[in-house]
Amino acid sequence: MQVNLDDSTNLQIAKIKDKEDYVFSIDGRIKLRFSRSELKYIQAMIDAALKDDAEQSRDSLKNSIKDAVLRHKGQLQNILRNVRTEDIAYAVWFAGDETVKNDILSNMSKRASDDVVETIKEGIERRIRKERAEGNADIEDIMLEQGRSAAAILLKRVLDS
């Protein structure tokens, strides 16, 4: 695929024959090699970044996670074992989607899923309420940024499986 930008920059993405790797070329000078999962991750992050507002960006990232979780359901249990409980909690909270939450929690041990639910309730939602009551209006933005980072980490891990 080739794209010519307004400033006459030429971008090209080509699949390497007989491999699952892709080459991303800028004006034929800069060449970067990506695996399929890395390219999907970059695509999801670019799509989220290009949205007009924070809510659309969040929805875009949520949809990417939802799609990745559904496609990699078989490996999800192994993936989640290597992700911190707090990161899973922030990612689930950030996504704000019951389907994603249920798919993730059902692929964890009872104890681990209870820890995630507890972290969401006590560590995230309760902290937001407490900080708001104390007059810190920026806390939700800070927590959303942490959630976005955790969601990006989880998405990367799922796509790499």
Q: Domain holding 161: CATH number?
A: 1.10.220
Range of the domain at 128: 54-161
* Beta strands, E only, the chain: 2-4, 10-15, 21-26, 30-35
Please give the Cα distance from 87 to 68 (Å, whole number): 17
Q: Same structural domain for residues 140 and 114?
A: yes
Mean of all residue pLDDT scores within the chain: 86
Q: Same structural domain for residues 109 and 144?
A: yes
If one counts the domains in the chain, the total is: 2
- pTM given for the model: 0.77
Q: Same structural domain for residues 34 and 85?
A: no
**What pLDDT shows up at residue 90?**
93
**What pLDDT shows up at residue 91?**
92
Q: Same structural domain for residues 24 and 64?
A: no
Q: What is the pLDDT of residues 108-159, one digit of tens each?
A: 999 999 999 999 998 899 999 999 999 988 888 888 889 999 999 999 988 8
Share of the chain above pLDDT 90, in %: 20
Q: Is 111 exposed, middle or buried (0-12, 13-18, 19+ CB in 10 A)?
A: exposed
In sequence order, the 6+-apart residues with CB closer than 8 A to the CB of 148 are 58, 61, 94
Q: What is the pLDDT of residues 17-32, one digit of tens each?
A: 888 888 888 887 888 8
Q: Same structural domain for residues 69 and 27?
A: no
Q: Same structural domain for residues 157 and 98?
A: yes
Q: Same structural domain for residues 39 and 67?
A: no
Q: Same structural domain for residues 122 and 107?
A: yes
Q: Same structural domain for residues 112 and 92?
A: yes
Q: Same structural domain for residues 64 and 140?
A: yes
Q: Same structural domain for residues 74 and 142?
A: yes
Q: What is the pLDDT of residues 18-71, one digit of tens each?
A: 888 888 888 878 888 888 888 888 888 888 888 888 888 888 888 888 888 888
Q: Same structural domain for residues 39 and 83?
A: no
Instruction: Give pairs for 137-143: CB < 8 Å, separation 24+.
Output: 143/90
**What pLDDT shows up at residue 2?**
63
